[in-house]
Amino acid sequence: MSRKIVVALGGNAILSSDPSAKAQQEALSETAKHLVKLIKNGDGLIITHGNGPQVGNLLLQQLAANSEKNPAFPLDSLVAMTEGSIGYWLQNALQNALLEEGIKKDVASVVTQVLVDKQDPAFENLTKPIGPFYTEEEAKAEAEKTGATFKEDSGRGWRKVVASPKPVGIKEINTIRALIDNGQIVVAAGGGGIPVVQEEDGRLSGVEAVIDKDFASERLAELVEADLFIVLTGVDYVFVNYNKPNQEKLEHVSVEQLEEYIQQNQFAPGSMLPKVEAAIDFVNSSPHGKAVITSLENLEALVESESGTIIQKNL
């Protein structure tokens, strides 16, 4: 029986040390060969991806060329631009990989607006750094000119910070459902999606924010009623006591066990922690679904033997 799977790609699936378009397209060509293993297995696939480095690079380009006649675009537009370009690259790579395997399926990318709550506390507590580093004096001058908020970043300088609100809905969810139900492979919610708020009259407005891609992917998986939510990262398994002599990989683990490990601060914030939290959210929201955290390279082993960190409500 065909499963409905949401796969959240890690950043290493797109970008290594070379930020050129050619290098990213080549990386996605390799990524697509791994993803096709799920499609060959008969599964329906919705793919999400990150865009942090790409948005950062595009923002720097925009600021470098910023002028009265050629003003820099706001952050929500930059998210949309990178969602479109990465979606195109991934769509193209998947179509070529499917052709090589003799599989006749279409791939569609959906530029996705993700709803956030304008009352989310994240809009009062700005935490997500974006853009270039400034000296303290430069940051103060920029803040006075633009009204933006700047914070010192790990001793490296001052950076602009924006909100990172939780996703509450996906505007294009019915379109995504229709595509997947029609047998299409779908690329959606790239980079966490474009953050928008809904006004009282129903109108949508883009906001200057960054949505965590793992939480956006989980929300998407929940709304399409996925059977499986796969979060891809740089390692085959989640570990506790990571990089210590008593390091232990987690293979089959319950939500309750993971919550205990979170209390023990086993997972790094901004790295493995959001992936684990997103996996827990999905399993708790789904009556029959399960989540997996593993690497792109381990997908074939996952298909064949459920290799990776398998998360279920109860063991």
Q: Which residues are catalytic?
A: 11-12, 128, 213, 275
The residue among 36, 50, 46, 42 whose CA lies nearest residue 5 is 46
Cα distance between residue 212 and residue 193, in whole Å: 9
Q: Quick one: CA torsion of 135, 139, 141, 144, rounded to 10 degrees?
A: -170
For residues 197 and 123, the answer to whether their CB atoms sit within 8 Å is no
Cα distance between residue 257 and residue 298, in whole Å: 23
For residues 162 and 76, the answer to whether their CB atoms sit within 8 Å is no
Cα distance between residue 119 and residue 111, in whole Å: 24
Cα distance between residue 48 and residue 187, in whole Å: 6
Residue written as token pair 């939510």: 229
Query: CA distances (Å), 225 to each of 6, 191, 193, 205, 243, in order?
Result: 10, 21, 19, 27, 36
For residues 7 and 38, the answer to whether their CB atoms sit within 8 Å is yes
